[in-house]
């Protein structure tokens, strides 16, 4: 289990809100797009049950330009 494993969709959205992200629109299937109006950055978040895969969470953080350590310290 990696450091970024064990996070659920709701946990991730809650932490991203601390970084200024908010729901922007529904995307294909069960995915949502969040926007940070301050930075103009978008990120796509899959709304699936269970824990998010570590690689998927890393991709979300990369899109959002959030360092994994910053994400973990805000959880």
Q: What is the CATH number of the domain that holds 52?
A: 3.30.920.30
Does 19 map to a domain?
yes
Does 21 map to a domain?
yes
How many Å apart are CA 13 and CA 22, to the nearest integer?
Answer: 8
pLDDT tens, position by position, 35-71? 999 999 999 999 989 999 999 999 999 999 999 999 9
**Overall domain count for the chain:** 1
Does 2 map to a domain?
no
Does 61 map to a domain?
yes
Residue 50 structural domain: 9-73
Is the pLDDT confidence value at 3 over 90? no
């Amino acid at each position: 289990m990696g450091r970024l494993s064990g996070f659920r969709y709701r946990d991730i959205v809650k932490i991203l809100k601390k970084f200024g992200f908010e729901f922007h629109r529904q995307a294909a299937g069960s995915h949502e797009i969040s926007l940070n109006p301050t930075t103009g950055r978008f990120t796509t978040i899959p709304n699936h049950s269970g824990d998010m895969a570590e690689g998927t969470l890393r991709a979300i953080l990369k899109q959002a330009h959030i360092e994994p350590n910053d994400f973990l310290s805000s959880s």
